[in-house]
Amino acid sequence: MRLPRTGSMTHRADFARVKTTGQAKVGRFVILSTLADPSLTTLRTGFITTKRSGKAHDRNLLRRRFRSLVQAHAPEFIELRRFLVTIARPNAAAATFTELEEDWVRQAKRLGLFPRPQTPA
């Protein structure tokens, strides 16, 4: 799944709405927030990397990694009509891609974004 430009969150009000009315889970390297919105046609993503995350090249690297994670895992989501915000924690720049991916997927599972595995009866 490629992330089209139209799938980006660009308005401050959208970020504020996800923060106030959405769900969030805090991990070691990321904070993942989501808000289901039936009026959307597809997934809308936003990435927040503050100066605490590192220098400019570290923040750019983190945004590229987060985009890659969403591209790889979003097609598996139960429902794509939602806002999804990924916030980098201060130690995220020091993490490897594998560590970021494990933490991101763990938080997405905690938020119920992936289907539950079927248990044999």
The CATH number that applies at residue 75 is: 3.30.230.10
What are 27-51's pLDDT values in tens digits? 999 999 999 999 988 899 999 999 9
With both helix axes pointing from N to C terminus, report the angle between 56-73 and 97-110 in degrees, rounded to the nearest 10.
50
Predicted confidence at residue 28, as pLDDT, reads 96
Indicate the pTM of the whole model. 0.88
* Helix, coil or strand: residue 67: helix
Place of tokens 């490629």: 2
Total tally of structural domains belonging to the chain: 1
User: Is the residue at 116 inside a domain?
Assistant: no
For 40, 41, 81, 117, 121, the CA distances from 30, given in Å and listed in that order, are 24, 26, 22, 24, 36
In a domain? residue 40:
yes
Express each pLDDT in 57-88 by its tens digit. Answer: 999 999 999 999 999 998 898 888 999 999 99
